[in-house]
Amino acid sequence: MQEAYSIINSQRWASPGVRAVGIVNPATEEAIGRVELIDAQGLDQALAAAARGFMLWKNTSAYERAAILRKAVGIIRSRQDEIARVMTLEQGKPLAEALAEVVASADNIEWMAEEATRAYGRLLVPRNAGIHQLVRREPVGPVASFCPWNFPALTPARKIAGALAAGCSLILKPAEETPLTALHIVNAFHEAGVPGEVLGLVYGDPQQVSEHLIASPVIRKISFTGSTPVGKLLLGLAARGVKRATMELGGHAPVVVFDDVDPARTAQQAVAAKFRNAGQVCTSPTRFYVQAGIYPQFVQAFADAARAIRVGDGMDAAVQMGPLANSRRIAAMAALTEDTLASGARLACGGKRIGTRGYFFEPTVFSDVPENARIMQDEPFGPIVPIASFTSLDEVAARVNALPFGLAAYAMTRSLARATAISGLLEAGMVGINHYTVSTPASPFGGVKESGYGSEGGTEGLDAYLVTKCVTQRSSGADLGPL
């Protein structure tokens, strides 16, 4: 049995009369450990530490901060197999996917470590020879970050890397369902030399923790990855203190498949992307619009490839799709399947829970899905996919942009003219043309509309933790007229 716990000032926080909840392996439903939940007194200690940590870290040179972050990268890489194993046990994704996530986490931190030394300001051209005006970029202050369970290493890694590279202190609240992976990531930063006060880790009741931290005058910025409804709630709390926010919220990514592509190859590529992490990815391709000329062939090839996916315990190297992360997702998939059948859509494959032990659900494909079916509006966040047909570019553009979401969007075509046109039309923060990888360390990851605002990754990901200060300085003894 493994234990996860809050860390304040590099020390395990033991709340008197500590409450704990079990950590469940979603492939077996067995308890694999427990996570201790923090109390209000612990949160106050974490805030006090973050306030001290900010004064310390913002005065640490960017080069020193970068060196410490690079050391954390080395530690994470040296433990990547162990961290991946823990992730698969507590989250369910296949071991190869877990390993790829740990590798990506290290790559993101490494990229941000380099970026730490490039937070340039600028010098203005003064209106008077005795005046110097400079625009400084400074760390915003202590940050509170909230992470979900679908990427237990990468989401914390991105949030920690951006904040620490900029010179901010951070209190991280990972998901209580996947606490062990985050504990490994935070430990790596501390072992690398990040002072305990600079990076705190808290687990607790999500509502209690977010309300407590966001209300504190210590916290100057929040960063949240999760659902749009919770994001709106946290934005409301942040607004009361006029605090900055980065919000990575839900999506419902459309894929426009034009009739000039090979339907079988395109469908196989789509299936690999759709069922990654059992569809529990905010950038998952989740609504397929296929041009009428290749629609039947695409649906057939998609369903064949989905049926062939090997589903099982992610610890088995032959498995391609693991369980869903928790029992809530199974209930959500069952309800969505029922609802989609009732809408008149055709079930091409799947549609049921697999077995009674472990949160397994069949890769499920619906075709001829009407636009008003719930699955075309609500993010499935699981292994269910709707496919519909379209005829013209204008028609499909109106349909894909009708939702309030705008995170990722994709289009498949061999035509440069179509690719250019659809890239301009899609209302999304990230667009993939003939490709589903829209996230790299150098690219800004974020959405528009109700998918959130702000970016993580890229130069924008550092910018998100910086504020602007304009300093106007008079040379001593300068004889000045008006500015």
Ligand X SMILES: O=S(=O)(O)c1ccc(CO)cc1
Does the active-site annotation cover 282? yes
CA gyration radius, the chain: 24
Q: Taking a C-beta distance cutoff of 8 angstroms, is the pair 411, 425 a contact?
A: no
| Beta pairing class for 143-146 and 170-173 | parallel
User: What is the spatial order of strands in the sheet that 430-433 belongs to?
Assistant: 346-349, 364-367, 384-390, 285-291, 253-257, 408-412, 430-433
Sequence-separated (6 or more) residues with CB below 8 Å from residue 244 = 140, 220, 221, 222, 238, 464, 467
186 lines the binding site for ligand X (CB under 6 A): no
Q: Which one from 110, 197, 248, 427 is the annotated catalytic residue?
A: 248
- Compare residues 154 and 175 and give the one whose CB is closer to ligand X: 154
> Least distance in Å: CB of 328 to ligand NAD?
5
> Least distance in Å: CB of 438 to ligand X?
7
Residues 336, 191: Cα–Cα separation, whole Å: 45
DSSP for 400-469?
HTTSS--SEEEEE-S-HHHHHHHHHH--SSEEEES------TTS-B--SGGGEES-BSHHHHHHTTEEEE
Out of ligand X, ligand NAD, none, what residue 283 binds, judged by CB under 5 to 8 A for its kind, is ligand X
Out of ligand NAD, ligand X, none, what residue 250 binds, judged by CB under 5 to 8 A for its kind, is ligand NAD
Out of ligand NAD, ligand X, none, what residue 175 binds, judged by CB under 5 to 8 A for its kind, is ligand NAD
Among 143, 154, 168, 180, binds ligand X (CB under 6 A): 154
- Compare residues 113 and 154 and give the one whose CB is closer to ligand NAD: 154
Site for ligand X in 86-125 (CB under 6 A): none
Size of the chain in residues: 483
Residues 142, 164: Cα–Cα separation, whole Å: 10
Residues 56, 67: Cα–Cα separation, whole Å: 16
- Compare residues 88 and 169 and give the one whose CB is closer to ligand X: 88
> Least distance in Å: CB of 233 to ligand NAD?
6
Residue 302: CB atoms within 10 A of its CB come to 28
- Compare residues 6 and 225 and give the one whose CB is closer to ligand X: 225
Among 5, 13, 54, 151, binds ligand X (CB under 6 A): 151
Q: Rounded to the nearest 10 degrees, what angle do helices 393-400 and 416-425 cross at?
A: 30
168 lines the binding site for ligand X (CB under 6 A): no
Q: Which one from 282, 362, 427, 456 is the annotated catalytic residue?
A: 282
Q: For 3-36, what is the HEC assignment? A: EECCEECCEECCCCCCEEEEEECCCCCCEEEEEE
User: Backbone dihedral region of 11: left (phi > 0), alpha (psi from -120 to 50 degrees) or beta?
Assistant: beta
Q: For 351-409, what is the HEC assignment? A: CCEECCCCCEECCEEEECCCCCCHHHCCCCCCCEEEEEEECCHHHHHHHHCCCCCCCEE
- Compare residues 248 and 450 and give the one whose CB is closer to ligand NAD: 248
- Compare residues 261 and 282 and give the one whose CB is closer to ligand NAD: 282
> Least distance in Å: CB of 9 to ligand X?
29
> Least distance in Å: CB of 381 to ligand X?
10
Does the active-site annotation cover 248? yes
DSSP for 253-306?
EEEEE-TTS-HHHHHHHHHHHHTGGGG--TT-EEEEEEEGGGHHHHHHHHHHHH
Site for ligand X in 412-441 (CB under 6 A): 439
405 lines the binding site for ligand X (CB under 6 A): no
Residues in contact with ligand NAD by CB under 6 A are: 146, 148-150, 175, 206-207, 210, 225-227, 230, 233-234, 248-250, 282, 328, 379, 381
Site for ligand X in 276-315 (CB under 6 A): 281-283
Out of ligand X, ligand NAD, none, what residue 99 binds, judged by CB under 5 to 8 A for its kind, is none
Out of ligand NAD, ligand X, none, what residue 439 binds, judged by CB under 5 to 8 A for its kind, is ligand X
Residues 83, 325: Cα–Cα separation, whole Å: 17
Out of ligand NAD, ligand X, none, what residue 405 binds, judged by CB under 5 to 8 A for its kind, is none
Out of ligand X, ligand NAD, none, what residue 226 binds, judged by CB under 5 to 8 A for its kind, is ligand NAD
Q: What is the three-class DSSP state of 341?
A: helix
Q: Which residue is nearest to ligand X (CB)?
A: 439
- Compare residues 139 and 457 and give the one whose CB is closer to ligand NAD: 457
> Least distance in Å: CB of 214 to ligand NAD?
9
146 lines the binding site for ligand X (CB under 6 A): no
* Per-residue tokens: 125: 């051209």
| 49 CB-contact burial (10 Å; exposed 0-12 / middle 13-18 / buried 19+) | buried
- Compare residues 294 and 408 and give the one whose CB is closer to ligand X: 408
> Least distance in Å: CB of 275 to ligand NAD?
16
**H or E stretch covering 69:** helix 62-78
Out of ligand NAD, ligand X, none, what residue 286 binds, judged by CB under 5 to 8 A for its kind, is none
325 lines the binding site for ligand X (CB under 6 A): no
Out of ligand X, ligand NAD, none, what residue 146 binds, judged by CB under 5 to 8 A for its kind, is ligand NAD
| Residues near ligand X (CB under 6 A) | 150-151, 154-155, 225, 281-283, 439
**Which residues are catalytically annotated?**
248, 282
